[in-house]
Structure 1
Amino acid sequence: MSLLDLSNELAIGIDIGGTNTKYGLVNHRGEILAQGDIPTDRSPDVNEFINDLHTALTPILAEFNAKIRGIGVGAPNGNYYTGTIEYAPNLPWKGIIPLAQLIGEKFGVDCTLTNDANAAAVGEMMYGAARGMKDFIMITLGTGVGSGIVANGHLIYGHDGFAGELGHTIIRPGGRLHWSTGAEGSLEAYCSATGITLTAKEMRQKYKDSLLNNYKEEEINSKVVYECAEKGDEAAKETFRFTGQILGEALANFIMFSSPEAIVLFGGVIKAGDYILNPTREYMEKNLLPIFRDKVALVFSELKEADAAILGASALAWES
């Protein structure tokens, strides 16, 4: 397809979250021409949700009057192979939902679905820090820890569409109990924003003069930890060092699995900057075999956090 053809086409990117669903109209350069959102949890009936989505997008599509290349959707437990959302615990629609088929039929356009972390990886490969790379791992550090693995220019989906759940790998066997899965010692239990909050609450017990002790239990979160670290608080800085150690050790395992050119970090947690990046890099390199050392770039995403979900989802339409 020529660039001229691409310039006359737009893609729709849809990011489905537990509370809100974001959507946008995106061109092939990764520019979001229009965007908005609707509640995800307004109705337990997925058809009503799709009707709301269609109602919201119809005036936008009419305004731009462009050919729509396709629709890309990122969603929790989204299966690329089947186009279904399967048993997503934080969505109102239970069981197996044939979402790609339902959206495609409603809009009259091909629809591609994958999970939200894989969508972010595709977006990073098309528009962000991984442009031109064929082997990289995307790690999203937010409320949870998501991931997308790209090898030889293709996302790794596995035989059933659910490969790449690196956040649920066990990095501390018998360690911290995960609040949702019940697993002990998973990466997400330590390196998500939720995990950082739990670590900070443990650390402030050891550092009695910590600024963190000026906050009520429910007031502590990863943002507060960062603010305290900026003020020189040792408990806060140790929280990030410990988090970076665990993340770095996990990344070393992932590197020795797929030998990526880079690991791209994305999400709210990376706002901590060098507090988390430096120990992550240190422990990543320390735990690698010599043949892998000093070969893998550790970089932050180049996508704006507010736009990344829409861009990642829209990228699915361009690559399909």
Structure 2
Amino acid sequence: MADYILGIDIGGTNTKYGLVDKKGKVVGEGAFITHAHEKVEFFLEELKKNILPKLEGKSVLGVGVGAPNANYFNGTIMQAANISWGDNVPLQKLISGVFDLPAILTNDASAAALGEMKFGGAQGMKDFVIFTLGTGLGSGFVVNGEIVYGHSGFAGEIGHVGVNPDGRYCGCGRRGCLETYVSATGIKKTVFKMMADYTRPSVLRDVSYNDMTAEMITNAAKDHDYIAIKAFEYTGQIFGQKLADTVVHTSPEAIFLFGGLVNAGDYLLDPATYYMEKFMFKPFKKTVKLLPSSLMDQNAAVLGAAALGWEEFSKK
């Protein structure tokens, strides 16, 4: 019988999960609403309802979890911008109790980096960065083959570097954070800015803010919608400048992009690459590859959370 690690990726909107074997094969995968703005007990009930039945008859060694603002050192979620369960939630302990299995917790983007390194395009790389472009913006750093956690466990939160001190309000309580511009939530706001700035027709003008999704904006851009294309150009410009800043810290071989916005392809990648190179410190010009994740058809964070579990529990 194959052994598995249960990988769980907790997002601000949805939670995804799957049982992952040593070779990265995923079975029993699924998703449910995170209930990010309700009590954590609602989330724990969803875990029981959706996942427990799929563990029956399986040899599961433990649980690996990726979540926003997760602290690898103490197993807590601390003041996550897009999850309102409390300032210091002992999630590792709670999840271990639900499944009666050992659990390990890390930042969702760090989990995605582990997945890319073990099962994806970063195999063989020792220095790279991954950005996850979802409800918010996460980032994970790998230096000399190791995830960078820093002193506090929160190293590499590029989503909360400043773009404009008088800019958009962020869920973290600050203004002008990168993720308020470069994320599924951010590009929705940008579309409404573009519709105010330009008089050009757009299919997006008939969509309310609450109904609009990043997928709609991507599809509109692919249909040559002027407003959608301008929104991606604006997003790519801001992102590219911050990518250039990111490079000087660790000199990565590559930067991988994962998440729904990446489905826009060149509409996002072209301006991001252009502005990254334009603002790059000269010694780093043309040294860094900007690539979509090779795990886009899978869930890099689920695979990465499971990779963390394999690393932690197979030793024991």
The TM-score normalised by the length of structure 2 is 0.87
Structure 1 residue 23 corresponds to structure 2 residue 17:
yes
Aligned residue number for residue 250 of structure 2 = 258
Alpha-carbon spacing, 1:227–1:164, altered in 2? closer, same or farther (3 Å)? same
SS of 2:77's equivalent? strand
Aligned residue number for residue 290 of structure 1 = 282
Gaps of 5+ in 2: none
Give the RMSD, CA atoms, in angstroms.
2.6
Aligned residue number for residue 208 of structure 1 = 199
SS of 2:287's equivalent? coil
Is 49-58 or 158-167 further displaced after alignment? 49-58
Structure 1 residue 172 corresponds to structure 2 residue 143:
no
Letter in 2 for 1:267: G
CA distance in 2, matches of 1:136, 1:95: 30
Structure 1 residue 63 corresponds to structure 2 residue 57:
yes
Structure 1 residue 155 corresponds to structure 2 residue 147:
yes
Q: Offset at 1:55?
A: 6.4
Structure of higher CA gyration radius? 1
Query: Does the CA-based 8 Å contact 1:212-1:225 persist in structure 2?
Result: no
Alpha-carbon spacing, 1:263–1:50, altered in 2? closer, same or farther (3 Å)? same
Q: Offset at 1:162?
A: 1.2
Aligned residue number for residue 191 of structure 1 = 182
CA distance in 1, matches of 2:50, 2:179: 35
1:42-57 superposed matches below 5 A: 44=39, 46=41, 50=44, 53=47, 57=51
CA distance in 1, matches of 2:190, 2:28: 40
CA distance in 2, matches of 1:196, 1:18: 16
1:18-167 superposed matches below 5 A: 18=12, 20-37=14-31, 40-41=34-35, 44=39, 46=41, 50=44, 53=47, 57-64=51-58, 66=59, 68-88=60-80, 90-91=82-83, 93-104=85-96, 107-167=99-159
Letter in 1 for 2:281: L
Structure 1 residue 227 corresponds to structure 2 residue 219:
yes
% identical aligned pairs: 45
The TM-score normalised by the length of structure 1 is 0.86
Aligned residue number for residue 9 of structure 1 = 3
CA distance in 2, matches of 1:45, 1:204: 38
Alpha-carbon spacing, 1:225–1:37, altered in 2? closer, same or farther (3 Å)? closer
Q: Offset at 1:211?
A: 1.5
Letter in 2 for 1:262: A
CA distance in 1, matches of 2:219, 2:285: 33
SS of 1:191's equivalent? coil
Alpha-carbon spacing, 1:98–1:276, altered in 2? closer, same or farther (3 Å)? same
Letter in 2 for 1:116: D
